[in-house]
């Protein structure tokens, strides 16, 4: 049996608002994406994941959907989508939509109907609950974006639950009609021919129907991570992450697998230990990602080793591997501890392409971009609005793609973009990097192309061999091929004792920077060695 196409595929995430603006309104759109398909093809991904494209009041930039059956006018509307899909098909690039079905926008008709509270007319499509006797919210659940996860609505004299913004009411997946409507959204787009979905907060479809308080994490067990963000002080087991969530994911998967060769992976935003419940060969979604690597700032071998050792006990999980997306600081900024350089960018891209999983690579990662600069009056993300300058929110990872160094707004748009283009990004524009054989862009193109010829890196299992202060070593294993991968993840030279040197045949992949010597291998800063076990 051949593996499904998505196993070990490279998926390129496009955040369309910031990719390319074709109509000159400062906001990226689908004709803009379409105009850059030569660039995407040259990069060589199997699929593109498009961040949300549906009509939205954009309180959370598309992650608050007001109509699941359409494409936002500012994105170019449905005609632009059809044209993009057809062009991508022609080029053999698959298209994955980002569906946000745990909540809707408050502007969705469903919510307007639910607000009326009339029996049988969507009154239970959202999570409504009476105030406590003192008028306070029904329980202690907290919003990921700050404050209580409940807002009072005078129209029904009740509170409604929102895990994120007040303008993102939680859809009640316990209501059969609401659930059926959400599943119909998937069917609609599958019939249109999309190749799959990234499901937003796929751990959060169900809430506890008794509305029990989340228990606190005992103060003596709290780390900086817990204290940094109030919702993390709770064990998130009643607002989200319920064991029964798995059954919902089974239903989602059955819908998706009712169509040929489709793929559905989820974002699992907290309680990463539950990934084995929610993803599997025969249950839950086909794949998914946690924030283990996305939150990491150490780039230390131990982080990667611990995650794959944890997955070793869950062999049914085929993970997505990802270092960067629209929600977190960019890879080289996070892993670089303040110092960004191409050697780090190339090392991280090589590791991304070598670890077990379906690869999710975020736009701009292939250019080695760091965070874009954002001034206070340029903040657009509600999270940045809440906490600036303590946290600048997610805008620094969402600034526009730099296409042409010397063009206005680096060629992203002819008008002032919705977020500023960083001048340092313009220096790293695609047109500059295309002309430089040593650029991160050309490196990434070669890497993705070469990976296709190394089956163990695509679909192989993983066995961690060593995680020292500096060195991460592992095998990727298929019955017909085993590849030894050794990374120096530090800025200092390192050594690695090769188990049996004569039994490994080195080949070129990634940054190189290794030699034989010392106990076996010497590795330059951010060097990497690859060898086929003979
Ligand atoms: C997910 C998205 C994030 C969004 C949130 C609410 O975490 O990735 O961008 O703000 O869900 O939809």
DSSP class of residue 334? H
What is the Å distance from ligand 1's center to 491 Cα? 34
The yes-or-no verdict on residue 7 having pLDDT over 90 is yes
Contact 58, 25 (CB under 8 A): no
- Tell me the sheet residues that pair with 279: 284, 285
Q: Which of 464, 365, 438 is nearest to 13 (CA)?
A: 365
Atom of ligand 1 nearest to the CA of 145: 10
Residues classed as catalytic: 200, 251
Predicted confidence band of residue 501 (pLDDT cuts 50, 70, 90): low
Distances (CA, A) of 179 to 189, 322, 330: 16, 29, 35
- DSSP characters for 38-104? HHHHHH--SEEEEPP-S----SSTTSS-S-TTS--GGGTHHHHHHHHHHHHHHHT-EEEEEE--SB-
- How far does CA 316 lie from the centroid of its chain? 21
Q: Which fold has domain 109-161?
A: Oligo-1,6-glucosidase; domain 2 (3.90.400)
Q: Where are the domains of the chain?
A: 10-105+175-451, 109-161, 460-533
Nearest CA to ligand 1 atom 4: 63
Torsion, Cα 231 232 234 237, to 10 degrees, reads 90
The CATH architecture that domain 10-105+175-451 belongs to is: Alpha-Beta Barrel (3.20)
Atom of ligand 1 nearest to the CA of 327: 9
Q: Percentage of the chain surpassing pLDDT 70?
A: 99
Torsion, Cα 99 296 328 490, to 10 degrees, reads -120
Distances (CA, A) of 400 to 369, 404, 423: 11, 12, 11
What is the Å distance from ligand 1's center to 295 Cα? 15
- Cα separation, 461 vs 480, whole angstroms: 12
Predicted confidence band of residue 519 (pLDDT cuts 50, 70, 90): confident
The yes-or-no verdict on residue 82 having pLDDT over 80 is yes
pLDDT at 474 (0 to 100): 97
163-213: per-residue pLDDT in tens?
999 999 999 999 999 999 999 999 999 999 999 999 999 999 999 999 999
Nearest CA to ligand 1 atom 1: 200
pTM comes to 0.98
Q: Which of 333, 335, 331, 312 is nearest to 323 (CA)?
A: 331
**Residues contacting ligand 1 via CB (< 6 Å):** 60, 63, 100, 164, 200-201, 267, 269, 326-327
What SS3 string covers 487-517? EECCCCCEEECCCCHHHEEECCCCCCCEEEE
Query: Which residue among 63, 270, 386 is best mutated to probe the pocket of ligand 1, counting the most ligand atoms within 8 A of its Cβ?
Result: 63
| Residue 228: count of CB within 10 angstroms of its CB | 12
H helices of 388-505, where?
423-427, 430-434, 440-451, 455-459
Nearest CA to ligand 1 atom 12: 63
What is the Å distance from ligand 1's center to 63 Cα? 6
The yes-or-no verdict on residue 154 having pLDDT over 80 is yes
Query: Which residue among 57, 327, 328, 362 is best mutated to probe the pocket of ligand 1, counting the most ligand atoms within 8 A of its Cβ?
Result: 327
The CATH architecture that domain 460-533 belongs to is: Sandwich (2.60)
What is the Å distance from ligand 1's center to 350 Cα? 27
The yes-or-no verdict on residue 475 having pLDDT over 80 is yes
């Amino acid at each position: 049996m051949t593996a499904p196409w998505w196993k070990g595929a490279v998926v390129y995430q496009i955040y369309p608002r910031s990719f390319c603006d074709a109509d000159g309104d400062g906001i990226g759109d689908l004709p803009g994406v379409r105009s850059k398909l030569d660039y995407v093809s040259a990069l060589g991904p199997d699929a593109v994941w498009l961040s949300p494209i549906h009509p939205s009041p954009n309180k959370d930039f598309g992650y608050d959907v007001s109509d699941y059956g359409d494409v936002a006018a500012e994105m170019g509307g449905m005609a632009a989508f059809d044209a993009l899909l057809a062009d991508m098909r022609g080029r053999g690039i698959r298209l994955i939509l980002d569906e946000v079905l745990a909540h809707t926008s408050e502007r969705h008709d469903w919510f307007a109907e639910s607000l009326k509270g009339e029996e049988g007319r969507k009154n239970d499509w959202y999570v409504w609950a009476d105030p406590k006797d003192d008028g306070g919210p029904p329980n202690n659940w907290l919003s990921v974006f700050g404050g209580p996860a409940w807002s009072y609505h005078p129209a029904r004299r009740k509170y409604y639950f929102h895990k994120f913004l007040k303008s993102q009411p939680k859809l009640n997946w316990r209501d059969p009609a609401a659930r059926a409507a959400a599943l119909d959204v998937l069917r609609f787009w599958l019939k249109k021919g999309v190749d799959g979905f990234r499901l937003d907060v796929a751990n959060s479809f169900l809430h506890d129907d008794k509305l029990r308080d989340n228990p606190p994490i005992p103060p003596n067990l709290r780390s900086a991570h817990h204290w940094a963000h109030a919702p993390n002080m709770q064990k998130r087991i009643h607002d989200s992450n319920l064991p029964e969530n798995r059954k919902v994911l089974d239903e989602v998967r059955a819908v998706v697998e009712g169509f040929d060769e489709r793929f559905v992976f989820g974002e699992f935003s907290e309680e990463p230990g539950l990934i084995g419940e929610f993803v599997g060969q025969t249950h839950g979604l086909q794949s998914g990602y946690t924030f283990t690597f996305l939150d990491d700032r150490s780039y230390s071998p131990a982080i990667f080793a611990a995650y794959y050792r944890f997955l070793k006990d869950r062999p049914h999980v085929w993970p997505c591997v990802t270092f960067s997306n629209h929600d977190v600081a960019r890879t080289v900024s996070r892993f670089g501890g303040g110092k960004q350089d191409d050697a780090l960018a190339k090392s991280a891209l090589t590791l991304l392409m070598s670890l077990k999983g379906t690869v999710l690579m975020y736009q701009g990662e292939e250019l080695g971009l760091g965070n874009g600069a954002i001034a206070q009056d340029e903040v657009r993300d509600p999270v940045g609005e809440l906490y600036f300058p303590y946290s600048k929110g997610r805008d620094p990872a969402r600034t526009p793609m730099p296409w042409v160094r010397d063009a206005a707004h680096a060629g992203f748009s002819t008008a002032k973009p919705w977020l500023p283009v960083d001048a340092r990004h313009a220096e790293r524009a695609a047109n500059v990097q295309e002309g430089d054989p040593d650029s991160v862009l050309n490196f990434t193109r070669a890497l993705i192309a070469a990976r296709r010829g190394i089956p163990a890196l695509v679909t192989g299992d993983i066995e961690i061999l060593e995680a020292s202060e500096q060195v991460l070593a592992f095998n990727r294993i298929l019955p017909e091929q085993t590849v030894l991968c050794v990374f120096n993840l530090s800025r200092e030279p390192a050594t690695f004792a090769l188990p049996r040197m004569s039994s490994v045949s080195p080949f070129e992949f990634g940054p190189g920077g290794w030699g034989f010597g010392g106990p076996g291998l010497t590795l330059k800063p951010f060097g990497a060695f690859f060898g086929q076990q003979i």
